[in-house]
Amino acid sequence: MSKVIITGACGFIGSCLTRRLLAEGCRVVGIDNLSRRGTQLNADELEALDGFDLRRLDIADAEAVYAAFEAEGQVDAVFHLAGQVAVTSSYENAQRDFASNAAGSFHVIEAVKRFTPSAWCFYSSTNKVYGHLRVHVPVGLTYPLDPYTPYGVSKAVGELYFSEYGRSEIGLTTCCLRQSCIYGHNQYGVEDQGWVAWFAIANLFDKPVTIYGDGNQVRDLLFIDDLLDLYLECWRRRLTGVYPIGGGSANSISLAGGLELIAKITGREFGQVASEPTRPGDQPYFVADLSWSEHAGLDWEPKTGVRDGLTQMIAWIKENETAIRRAIG
Ligand SMILES: NC(=O)c1ccc[n+]([C@@H]2O[C@H](COP(=O)([O-])OP(=O)(O)OC[C@H]3O[C@@H](n4cnc5c(N)ncnc54)[C@H](O)[C@@H]3O)[C@@H](O)[C@H]2O)c1
């Protein structure tokens, strides 16, 4: 039985990954400070499952992170997903953003070095490390790191530490994915983060939405189950390196197109749609060039088209209306 540590285990991606790994027979130790709204619901559900233990702690606290890793000893894989996730909040409180994403990620990879050096270590980076991105072509392996926004910088710092600790002098096995827009079930999207889920929730619960910019910003959407398939494939192959990831060209859509498609699927018009100027750091276009996955020998491609993924996400929102209303306030 494999034993895995997941930081951010009670968040959107982390809780889905935890359920998936438990279903595959792994033992999962989750680390989370439950700071994100909705995470207490995930924590309650996960703690009822066999094979899961939660360590409630803040990764900004180095000693707490080291103690948690030391207590577990050698594990098979570490998925580092915990962090501050919104660009807006990174401007409001850059100190906190730095503590969670830059210092917190350093504590996690340093803990791996000290207590479980042979684990395969994954870091969830972001397309925000590319900065303004004025190109309108898919972003491949050679596009330079040029972070913009405090969030982009703090995530890039974490990524650089994971990469550095993966070099031969330190010798860990590390892999970073610069994730674009991930969406799906169990996502408590809010205006500041998780726009696809937020639009669907707003449509179904008659909440006003605001479009920042002209709505023509393009994103490639990757459905959560496809992302988890990729995580497991990368772990199976002990893949190392840094890669851009999203749904690719076939699954790209504009914000305005996303609104339209959600309304079509639910059969409900949006109530109030307001317009505001573009927010800082909002890339006009991001689509990942996925050709690296074949070159890296991975048996993976996104299987869930945008319409299908949105339909599944909308069904989950309808089935969980009470919990979602409680989670997002
Ligand atoms: N969802 C996306 O589209 C997306 C895109 C790019 C990158 N990412 C990255 O993937 C990771 C997971 O994203 P998500 O969408 O699941 O976000 P999420 O907010 O749902 O999950 C993050 C989790 O980390 C926890 N957390 C936050 N700060 C912490 C701290 N200091 N100590 C301990 N726990 C802390 C939160 O409580 C939450 O459970 C994040 O690192 C994020 O930057 C996500």
Contact 102, 154 (CB under 8 A): yes
Which residue reads 């900065």 in tokens? Answer: 131
Active site residues: 151
In the reported structure, the alpha carbon of residue 28 is separated from the centroid of ligand 1 by a whole-number distance in angstroms of 17
For residue 144, give the DSSP letter.
P
Within its chain, how far is the Cα of 36 from the centroid? Answer: 13
Q: φ, ψ for residue 233 (rounded to 5)?
A: -65, -40
Q: Give the pTM.
A: 0.98
Q: Where are the domains of the chain?
A: 3-187+222-249+286-305
Answer yes or no: is the C-beta of 282 below 6 A from any ligand 1 atom. no
What is residue 327's predicted lDDT score, i.e. its pLDDT? 83
User: How far is the centre of ligand 1, averaged over its atoms, from the C-alpha of 188 (Å)?
Assistant: 12
Per-residue pLDDT, 329: 74
∠ CA 38-192-323, rounded to 5°: 25
Positions of the chain with pLDDT under 50 = none
H helical segments located in the chain: 12-23, 39-47, 62-72, 87-92, 94-97, 104-115, 150-165, 195-204, 224-236, 255-266, 291-295, 306-319, 321-328
- 3-187+222-249+286-305 folds as Rossmann fold (3.40.50)
Helix (H, G, I), strand (E, B) or coil at 319: helix
Ligand 1 centroid – CA 8 distance (Å): 6
- Residue 251: per-residue pLDDT: 98
- Quick: pLDDT tens for 27-56: 999 999 999 988 999 999 999 999 999 999
Task: Give phi and psi for 220, each to the nearest 5.
Answer: -100, 125
End-to-end Cα, the chain, rounded Å: 39
Other beta carbons within 10 Å of 175: 21
Q: Is 172 in the pocket of ligand 1 (CB under 6 A)?
A: no
Q: Is the dihedral of CA 8, 11, 17, 23 positive or negative?
A: positive
- DSSP conformation letters of 249-301: GGGEEEHHHHHHHHHHHHT---S-EEEEPPPTT--SEE-B-THHHHHTT----
SS (H, E, C) 216-244: CCEEEEEEHHHHHHHHHHHHHCCCCEEEE
